[in-house]
Amino acid sequence: MKKFFTVLLILLSIAVGALFIYSSYTKIYTIESFESFQYSIVEYVKLPWIVSAIAGRLLVGLEMALGILIAIHLWGKNKWAIKLAMILTLVFSIYLVYLWIYAGDNINCGCFGDAIWMSPSTSLLKNGGLLIALWLLNKFHKGWGSNKIQWLAAAISIGITITPFIYYPIPDTKPQWLLKDHFQLDMQKLYEPGKTDAPAIDLKKGKHVIAFFSLKCPHCRVAAYKMHIMKQKNPSLPLFMVLAGKDENLKDFFDKTKAQNIPHTKLKADDFTNMVGFSWPVIYLMKDGWVEAETNYVTMSQSEIESWLAKP
C-alpha cells in the first residue's frame, strides 16, 4: 500500500509540474501570446508598461522553472520549490479574484494564453485543486531535497527564469497599441509593396474612421454590422476596416455582418496586434494619420461620426 501511495505521489508531482510547464508555454510560445499576457497586466492591473514588461517575463519564466523542478522532483532544501509554487498560485488566484470583480467572469483570464479559454471563476477552481495537490506533495512526498544538489535546483531555477528576458528582450519604446492618447498611427504595413488588398485611398490624408476587427470576435461583428448600416444610410461616410484572422473565416464574417460595402484590408496577426493590441474591436477616428478619438462598438453611432466629420 505504501509503494502504491508513493507511485501516486510521483505521478501527481509529474502532473503538477507538467501543468505549470504547459501554462507557461501557452503564454510565451509566440510573441502574440506573450504580448497578449502582457497586455492583460497593463489593461486590468493598470501597472506601468515597463513594470508589466518585467513582471510578465518574470512570472512566465518562474512558472516554467518551478514546473520543471516539480516534475523532476528537484525541490531544493525544505522543499522551497513546492512552497514557492504555492505562493505563485496564490498570487495568480488573488489576481483572478481582482479580474473577476473588475472585468466580470465572461473574459479569458489568460492562464493558458490563447490556447485554452478559461474564465476567472473556472481558473480559480483549477488553482484550488492545484493548491491541494501541492499541499499533498509538501506534506507526504520527499522529493530530492538533499543539500548536495541545492546548487542544481537553484541553477535551473535562475537559468530558466531569466530565459524570457533573453528570448523576448524588453523593447526600448512602448508598443504602438499602448499609445492611448493623441498619436500618429503607423500605417506602413497597410501599404507594403506587393500587398494586393492595400487601401485604394490614402488613409493618412483627410478624415477616416478606421476599425480594427478580428474575424471571429463577436463584438467586432456587431460593430461591423453597425458600420454596414451606417454606410447604407450615408454612403459618403469614410469608413474602413482592417481585418485579422484566417482567410477561411472571411466568408462567415461577411455573411454575418453584410459589411461588403465597406472597403477593407487584411493584416498578419503580429502586424495587427502591434498596431492595436489584444482587445478588440478598436475603432479610431483619424485625421491626417493622427488618432483624434476612439469609439467602441456599443456607443458608436452615425450621428457621432457625422458630428466629428463636420468639425474643422
pTM: 0.60
**Could you tell me if 211 and 67 lie in one domain?**
no
Which of 9-23, 67-81, 99-113 is predicted least confidently?
99-113
**Could you tell me if 44 and 85 lie in one domain?**
yes
Q: Residue 98 has what pLDDT?
A: 85
- Angle (deg, nearest 10), helices 49-71 and 31-40: 120
**Could you tell me if 211 and 130 lie in one domain?**
no
Task: Read off the pLDDT band of 271 (50, 70, 90).
Answer: confident
Owner of C-alpha cell 474564465: 119
The full DSSP string for the chain is -HHHHHHHHHHHHHHHHHHHHHHHHHHHSSHHHHHHHHHHIIIII---HHHHHHHHHHHHHHHHHHHHHHHTT---GGGHHHHHHHHHHHHHHHHHHHHHHHH-SSS---TTTTTS---HHHHHHHHHHHHHHHHHHHHH---S--GGGHHHHHHHHHHHHTHHHHHSPPPSS--GGG--SSEE---GGGG-TT-TT--SS-TTSSEEEEEEEETT-HHHHHHHHHHHHHHHH-TT--EEEEEES-GGGHHHHHHHH-GGGS-EEE--HHHHHHHH-SSS-EEEEEETTEEEEEE-TTT--HHHHHHHHH--
**Could you tell me if 15 and 67 lie in one domain?**
yes
Domain CATH number, residue 253:
3.40.30.10
**Could you tell me if 163 and 180 lie in one domain?**
no
Task: Read off the pLDDT band of 173 (50, 70, 90).
Answer: low
Of the candidates 59, 109, 53, the one whose C-alpha atom is nearest the C-alpha of residue 84 is: 59
Q: Which of 133, 167, 201 is the last residue of a domain?
A: 167
**Could you tell me if 145 and 190 lie in one domain?**
no
pLDDT in tens, 232-244: 999 999 999 999 9
Total domains in the fold of the chain = 2
pLDDT in tens, 106-145: 777 777 876 777 888 899 999 999 999 999 999 988 776 5
Residues in the chain, overall count: 312
**Could you tell me if 15 and 163 lie in one domain?**
yes
Angstrom distances, CA of residue 57 to CA of 44, 106, 190: 17, 26, 30
Q: Residue 298 has what pLDDT?
A: 76
**Could you tell me if 22 and 147 lie in one domain?**
yes
**Could you tell me if 162 and 180 lie in one domain?**
no
Average pLDDT over residues 11-24: 93
pLDDT at 192 over 90: no
Q: Residue 179 has what pLDDT?
A: 53
Structural domain boundaries enclosing 180: 176-310
Of the candidates 78, 58, 76, 71, the one whose C-alpha atom is nearest the C-alpha of residue 155 is: 76
**Could you tell me if 154 and 59 lie in one domain?**
yes
**Could you tell me if 111 and 64 lie in one domain?**
yes
**Could you tell me if 7 and 40 lie in one domain?**
yes
Q: Which of 146, 167, 188 is the last residue of a domain?
A: 167
